Amino acid sequence: MYVGHLAHLLPVRDVVLLRCHPVELERRLRRAHRGSPEDRRANGVVEATDLILLEALKLRRRVWEVDTTGRSIPMVAREVASLLRSRPRPRYGLSRWLEDPRVTEHLLRPAR
């Protein structure tokens, strides 16, 4: 489960960062029976605070964010493939989860 939290440390040329609304991320992890409630909460906090994005930007690589919220795997895969084929200008900073009051409210509730 934590491999994704280390991926930004690999020696890569470009980074495609898959993002997900923190509430949906925790729901996905709970439905998949992944991690403890505390682990799922930690994943939600990391997503909400852009921690992995900030770490990826420190590497000074091209970074593209792809929001997976409410999207199917094939749909996300097509977008990632398109990015890797065309290598457009970096695109990040689109996911501003903390601006969503539902995220703040969710993060203030006890982990479940």
pLDDT of residue 86: 94
The DSSP code sequence of 75-90 is HHHHHHHHHHHH--S-
pLDDT tens for the chain, 112 residues long, are 344 566 667 777 888 999 999 999 999 999 999 888 888 888 888 999 998 888 888 888 899 999 999 999 999 999 999 999 999 999 998 888 888 898 888 878 776 6
* Contacting residues for 5 by C-beta, under 8 A, at least 6 apart: 46, 52
pLDDT of residue 95: 85
Distance in angstroms (rounded) separating the CA atoms of residues 27 and 44: 10
pLDDT of residue 2: 43
- Domains belonging to the chain, first-starting first, are 2-108 (3.40.50.300)
User: How many whole angstroms from its chain centre is CA 56?
Assistant: 12
